[in-house]
Structure 1
Amino acid sequence: MVVRRAALIALVGTLLAVPVPASAAPDPGGPDLAQPVAADPAVVDPDPPVDDGRVASTPPATTKSPDGWTLTISAKDEVQMPIAPLTTAISSREYTVGGIFNGKLDGPSGSPKGVFEVGYQIGCGIDMSTSNGVALAGTMGVNASLGIIGLDFPNNAAEGLLPGIGGNIGGGITVGLKPGIINTVPVTKKEYKGDAPWVSISNFHVKIDGCVGESFIRSYATLSKSTDEGDAILSWYGVTKKI
């Protein structure tokens, strides 16, 4: 009886000593926190684009003359780049410009002739070139006076008169400003004979002085067809660029 009880106690102790495996936790299915997360490319700001001076050209301009000729002006590959003026003056504006400008004439038989002009227009917010500019203004004057001496104590008579002289000096700076103007700078006036005149401009410098504040630049072209009876004239203007 004693032997059976001892064997039962030993069997229970053995069962309690056997380790019970822990139940496996379910996989949450989330990302591995140890792995780096890639940055969203939409959040990272790219480097600002560098202004290479390229300007989109406006659509071609066209007209039809009374004698049946169709005139057309177009442009492409335009460049307008602001540069530091050689004078280093803050009232000067200088640009490097370029482009290809084409004229086209369609009409009755014959060889038309005329002038193809190409250039640039620069607008200034404030113009100093036709005003007085910066000027110094000043005033000077002399004042004479008489003073009574001998009245330092009460009941004393005046002992005499003391003459005196004084002066005043004033000064200031005046700046003469006028509303802005448009400066037209023709680059070339090509006399042509044919139906397809063209002008190619490359690395041409345009400069104006006396310009304060913002400035604006745009290209222009004028095509004229001349006959003994009359002239047909067409103008085209490019995109306005603010500097």
Structure 2
Amino acid sequence: MRLRSLTTSVLGFLAVAAMGAVNTGAAAAEPLADKSREITTDDGWLMRITKTGENLDRYPNLAATPFTREGFVSLKAAADIDGTGNAPVNTGSVSLGYQLGCQVDVTSGAAIGLAIGPSISIGVTTGVGASATVSPTVYLKPGTITSIPFGIKPLAGRHASITSDQVHIKIDGCLGPVSLRSYAQVNISTPTADNSLAVYGDPIYL
């Protein structure tokens, strides 16, 4: 009797979570607040990173399954180096992407040579820049946060930016909330110091 009660409770939780997942997919576009941070480095440079134009369009997934989330995200990261530092900037880069988390893994079975768990597919193309890098498919572990870079661009001057517009994002094999948090980061290196500065968006749910 106790086993039956436990099984019924678990099935009830799965049903409610699945219904919530389907309803979440029908939400409308959601614009998000711009964020910016700046610091002065030890060698005198004013370093700034800005996240703008972030937007999430949620869509019911084409497979009509409660274990898949689908949507389109837009995001821009801009880095600026100002001032008159006392050491030259040798290298630098700007990057942007998302941190994602899955609450419950509902995948099963085994795959040779692949991690088992919810998978994320990102529709970023490598055409955003010769030096841009992307990770098109990543496997999540429940209870962990996984960073998905959309692009990394070297600084060729005092300003650089990366813009990703209507990027397709799909997460399979996840039950319950799927959380997203954007990030934008700038890194610079001089002969006397290395500095990194990041800004994060507000958490959202796909």
**TM score, norm. by length of structure 2:** 0.62
Out of 82, 92, 102, the residue aligned to residue 106 of structure 1 is: 82
Partner Cα distance (2:184, 2:39) in 1: 14
Amino acid of the structure 2 residue aligned with 1:123: G
Residue number in structure 2 paired with 1:120: 98
Retained in 2: the 8 A contact 1:113–1:194? Answer: no
Structure 1 runs of 4+ aligned residues shifted over 6 Å read: none
Q: State the shift of 1:201 in Å.
A: 1.3
Identity %: 30
How far 1:179 moved relative to its partner?
A: 4.4
Is this contact kept in 1: 2:90–2:191, CA < 8 A?
Answer: no
Other-structure match for 1:193: 156
The higher radius of gyration belongs to 1
Written as runs of structure 1 = structure 2, the 5 A alignment for 1:10-21 is none
**In the alignment, structure 1 residue 52 sits paired with structure 2 residue 29:** yes
CA distance in 1, matches of 2:84, 2:41: 11
Residue 85 of structure 1 deviates from its aligned partner by 3.5
How far has the Cα of 1:112 moved from its partner?
Answer: 5.9
Larger relative contact order, structure 1 or 2 (CA cutoff 8 Å, min sep 6): 2
> Aligned in 2, Cα 1:219/1:102: closer, same or farther, shift over 3 Å?
same
Quick check: 1:67 aligned with 2:43? yes
For residues 242 and 52 of structure 1, what CA distance do their matches in structure 2 show? Answer: 12
Amino acid at match of 1:51: A
The 1:127–1:113 alpha-carbon spacing in structure 2 relative to 1, beyond 3 Å, is: same
Cα distance in structure 1, aligned partners of 2:144 and 2:63: 21
Q: Pick the aligned partner of 2:166 from 186, 203, 206.
A: 203
Amino acid at match of 1:113: T
For 2:68 and 2:29, locate their aligned partners in 1 and report how far apart those are by CA, in whole Å: 21
TM-score (norm 1): 0.53
Instruction: Give the length in aligned residue pairs.
Output: 148
Cross-structure match for 2:6: none
Structure 2: 5+ residue stretches without partners: 1-26, 111-140
The one-letter amino acid paired with 1:183 is T
**2:52 paired with 1:76:** yes
Displacement after TM superposition at 1:63 (Å) = 2.0
Question: After superposition, what is the alpha-carbon deviation per residue over 1:181-203, rounded to whole angstroms, capped at 9, x for unaligned?
Answer: 22211100111221111111111
- Specify every segment of 5 or more residues in structure 1 that has no aligned partner in the other structure, as ranges: 1-49, 136-177
1:95 aligned partner, one-letter code: G
What RMSD in Å do the two structures reach over aligned CA positions?
Answer: 2.5
Equivalences for 1:1-243 in 2 at 5 Å?
51-57=28-34, 59-108=35-84, 113-128=91-106, 133=108, 179-243=142-206
Indicate the SS of the match to 2:73. strand
CA contact (8 A) 2:187 2:195 kept: yes
TM-superposition CA deviations, 1:138-190 (whole Å, max 9, x none):
xxxxxxxxxxxxxxxxxxxxxxxxxxxxxxxxxxxxxxxx7422221110011
1:94 Cα offset (Å): 2.5
SS at match of 2:38: strand
Distance in 2 between residues matched to 1:212 and 1:134, nearest whole Å: 16
Kept in 2, the 8 Å contact 1:127–1:181? The answer is no
